[in-house]
Amino acid sequence: MSTYAQKKGFGATVWDFLTTVDHKKIAILYLLAGGLFFLVGGLEAVFIRIQLAVPNNDFVSAGAFNEIITMHGTTMIFLAAMPILFGFMNAVMPLQIGARDVAFPFLNALGFWLFFFGGVFLNLSWFMGGAPDAGWTSYASLAIHSKGHGIDFYVLGLQISGLGTLIGGINFLVTIINMRAPGMTYMRMPLFTWTTFVASALILFAFPPLTVGLVLMMFDRMFGSNFFVVANGGNTVIWEHLFWIFGHPEVYILVLPAFGIFSEIFSTFSRKRLFGYSSMVFATVLIGFLGFMVWAHHMFTTGLGPVANAIFAVATMAIGVPTGIKIFNWLFTMWGGSVKFTAPMHWAFAFIPSFIMGGVTGVMLAAAAADYQYHDTYFVVAHFHYVIVGGVVFSIFAGVQYWWPKIFGTMLNETLGKLTFWLFFIGFHMTFFIQHFLGLWGMPRRVFTYLPGQGFDTANMISSIGALFMSLGVIVLLINVVVTSVKNVKVGDDPWGDGRTLEWAIPSPPPFYNFKQLPLVRGLDAFWIEKMEGKKGMTPAEPLGDIHMPNASFLPFVIAFGLFIAAFGALYNGEHSWAIPVIVIGLLVTFGSMLVRSVKDDHGFHIHKEELMDDNDKGVKA
């Protein structure tokens, strides 16, 4: 079927990616864009650590520092961690359930472009008069007070990219509900698929409150409303609630997929079925559920009163239980197994003690009365970097190393991978462990500098040196990617040799239709079952037939771009006469292309049976 597999020129490749609706290519886009934003956010982190390395430093100004921390937090959470995880979900989840694509390929592309343009818009603030500077939480009184357009960039950029995330979440949910291969019952789904499912459900319910909050702030800042203007009857605590009703589930949106990735890695490299699979699923769902009941633990010092604080404190502690169930199940997956310490397994293994340290400080924070001391200090900074970096970032590095061969058809270098691990691992603990004490010794967070003579100097220096190690680790990873891509040694279907789930049953990279014939799933770890019975691949569940595929389309890009334009209009509303026309033009572009989409039928195309037969054993390039 050579027509689909021709080598293309550079321009054609770019066009291909701009118009693709293939979940595997969209995955690559997510990884690429998310990776880029990770570097940006990391660079911002490095600036933070340089500024704080010594007391009274003036590497950056006070105002710039606030912009940097705000953008660091926002970029890392919304534009780096979540999109990279979305990349894995796109790349792997449909394969794991034996689907040919996601439920809404067009919307999948739209989701990506919305995220991307939202992120670009947000980062353009650096060049257009200043970035947002009220923290990633953007508390209302400060955000309304903030001069310039920084906060406007935040509000508009996050609305656009949040819309993309919401669309992505719904897409994953429907894919999992409707498109599982024959025999793939819910309780046979790999854990990464399960965590994708629950995380997507959290997205579905957590992003609307954020959207509402952002809309209210947009109205206040750009259109003269009074939601947060106390003098006119407004109330800033509304923002705090709306933000955290979103914000707390958000951290589980980040960490659940990470748990999924580690679950796959633990069982693969222990050559053992996941211990307590059903309780793992149960714990995942329970974490998701409890995640919505605890947000006010970020507001213990707001003055909600002892009743509210006590309720939320206890509810928060409860989350430790399902998380503990997971930790012990992972440990007992390895127990009695045959554990091979590959580079992905390094990350997974180190994740356990690192994440626990963050988790238990979380439970300490949950003790409301004690949190009055911890809140808004470096103790909190230490807590969340322990869970986020030790959980999410570790999982991202692990996932990159683990699925790279499946996505790109070639293995990342293991030695370099382990070098990255050691540099990053050491740097990570060095940076963040000491921060617990900084917080307890009285150092608030979000301070652009500190005075000497308060006992903070040495600890901050240590912390900054740790960041240097982390940077080195990331640089080694980049080298690894380049070296690997240049060498480009092709690998087979199951390069780790221990693959258990369906994605390892098809070529690396998979053909663009994924499964020639949908596989018949006979149990948990479908591919492993077949392997253990001595079979080479999956038993097909259907005869070879025509495959229906969606058409590529440029419209997702255009729809997202329209909102990008409109956002500039909203930003300058009331300041320039061209603002309103620009809003109108942007919205016209968006709604116009939506209209085109709905009026022009798009039935996709079919790959014919004959072509598929030609294709046998050739390993098509996607």
The residues binding ligand HEA (CB under 6 A) are 39, 42-43, 45-46, 48-49, 69-70, 72-73, 76-77, 81, 135-137, 251, 254-255, 297-298, 316, 319-320, 323-324, 327, 356, 359-360, 362-363, 365-366, 371, 374-375, 380-381, 383-385, 387-389, 391-393, 431, 445-447, 467, 470-471, 474-475
Instruction: Report d(CA 481, CA 55) in Å as an integer.
Output: 37
The token pair that represents 477 in the structure block: 């990873």
Q: 191-223 and 277-290 are packed helices; what angle lies between their axes, rounded to 10 degrees? A: 10
> Least CB distance from residue 177 to another protein, whole Å?
5
Instruction: Report d(CA 237, CA 306) in Å as an integer.
Output: 17
> Least CB distance from residue 84 to another protein, whole Å?
23
93 binds, among Cu ion, ligand HEA, another protein, none (CB under 5 to 8 A by kind): none
Query: Residues 93, 325, 392, 470: which binds another protein (CB under 8 A)?
Result: 325
Whichever of 108 and 316 has its CB closer to ligand HEA, that residue is: 316
523 binds, among another protein, ligand HEA, Cu ion, none (CB under 5 to 8 A by kind): none
Phi-psi region of 411 (alpha: psi -120 to 50; beta: other; left: phi over 0): beta
Taking CB under 8 A as the binding criterion, the range among 6-14, 32-40, 87-95, 593-601 that sits at the site for another protein is 593-601
Whichever of 464 and 501 has its CB closer to ligand HEA, that residue is: 464
Whichever of 373 and 539 has its CB closer to another protein, that residue is: 373
> Least CB distance from residue 105 to another protein, whole Å?
10
Instruction: Report d(CA 222, CA 567) in Å as an integer.
Output: 11
Whichever of 28 and 566 has its CB closer to another protein, that residue is: 566
Whichever of 249 and 556 has its CB closer to Cu ion, that residue is: 249
Whichever of 94 and 213 has its CB closer to ligand HEA, that residue is: 213
> Least CB distance from residue 205 to Cu ion, whole Å?
15
Instruction: Report d(CA 387, CA 327) in Å as an integer.
Output: 13
Write b or e for each residue in 499-530: b if 16 or more Cβ atoms lie within 10 A of its Cβ, otherwise e: bbbbbbbbbbbbbbbbbbbbbbbeebbbbbeb
Closest CA relative to residue 43, chosen from 420, 468, 483: 468
In this structure, are residues 65 and 372 in contact, taking their beta carbons and an 8 Å threshold? no
73 binds, among ligand HEA, another protein, Cu ion, none (CB under 5 to 8 A by kind): ligand HEA
In this structure, are residues 579 and 530 in contact, taking their beta carbons and an 8 Å threshold? no
Q: Is 128 in the site for another protein (CB under 8 A)?
A: no
Binding mask 201-240 for Cu ion (x = CB under 5 A): ----------------------------------------
Whichever of 37 and 207 has its CB closer to another protein, that residue is: 207
Taking CB under 5 A as the binding criterion, the range among 11-19, 69-77, 244-252, 549-557 that sits at the site for Cu ion is 244-252
613 binds, among Cu ion, ligand HEA, another protein, none (CB under 5 to 8 A by kind): none
234 binds, among Cu ion, another protein, ligand HEA, none (CB under 5 to 8 A by kind): another protein
Q: 306-318 and 320-334 are packed helices; what angle lies between their axes, rounded to 10 degrees? A: 10
The token pair that represents 8 in the structure block: 């293309």
Whichever of 193 and 471 has its CB closer to another protein, that residue is: 193
The token pair that represents 563 in the structure block: 């909102």
In this structure, are residues 239 and 153 in contact, taking their beta carbons and an 8 Å threshold? no
DSSP, collapsed to helix, strand or coil, labels residue 607 as strand
Size of the site for Cu ion (CB under 5 A): 1
Instruction: Report d(CA 117, CA 106) in Å as an integer.
Output: 17
Query: Residues 174, 465, 579, 585: which binds another protein (CB under 8 A)?
Result: 174
In this structure, are residues 511 and 615 in contact, taking their beta carbons and an 8 Å threshold? yes
DSSP, collapsed to helix, strand or coil, labels residue 383 as helix
> Least CB distance from residue 246 to ligand HEA, whole Å?
12
> Least CB distance from residue 9 to another protein, whole Å?
33
342 binds, among Cu ion, another protein, ligand HEA, none (CB under 5 to 8 A by kind): none
Q: Report which secondary-structure segment, H or E, holds 569.
A: helix 555-571
> Least CB distance from residue 542 to Cu ion, whole Å?
46
Q: Is 534 in the site for another protein (CB under 8 A)?
A: no
DSSP for residue 519: B
> Least CB distance from residue 582 to another protein, whole Å?
20
Residues 6+ away with beta carbon under 8 Å from 514: 94, 95, 99, 100, 101, 506
Whose tokens are 């990770």? That residue is 38
DSSP, collapsed to helix, strand or coil, labels residue 606 as strand
> Least CB distance from residue 479 to another protein, whole Å?
28
Site for another protein in 31-90 (CB under 8 A): 61-63, 66
Size of the site for another protein (CB under 8 A): 135
Cα–Cα–Cα angle for 29, 33, 39, rounded to 5 degrees:
145
Residues 6+ away with beta carbon under 8 Å from 281: 187, 191, 194
Query: Residues 129, 276, 495, 540: which binds another protein (CB under 8 A)?
Result: 276
Instruction: Report d(CA 382, CA 436) in Å as an integer.
Output: 5
Site for Cu ion in 451-480 (CB under 5 A): none
In this structure, are residues 57 and 51 in contact, taking their beta carbons and an 8 Å threshold? yes
Binding mask 422-451 for Cu ion (x = CB under 5 A): ------------------------------
Site for Cu ion in 246-305 (CB under 5 A): 248
Site for another protein in 460-479 (CB under 8 A): none
Q: Is 375 in the site for Cu ion (CB under 5 A)?
A: no
> Least CB distance from residue 202 to Cu ion, whole Å?
13
Query: Residues 32, 36, 54, 339: which binds another protein (CB under 8 A)?
Result: 339
Residues 6+ away with beta carbon under 8 Å from 558: 589, 590, 593
In this structure, are residues 91 and 402 in contact, taking their beta carbons and an 8 Å threshold? no
The token pair that represents 73 in the structure block: 């937090």
Closest CA relative to residue 540, chosen from 550, 526, 556, 552: 526
Site for another protein in 284-323 (CB under 8 A): 292-293, 296, 301-306, 308-310, 313-314, 317-318, 320-321
Length of the chain in terms of residues written: 622
The token pair that represents 225 in the structure block: 């409303």
255 binds, among ligand HEA, Cu ion, another protein, none (CB under 5 to 8 A by kind): ligand HEA
Query: Would you tell me which residues interact with Cu ion (CB under 5 A)?
Result: 248
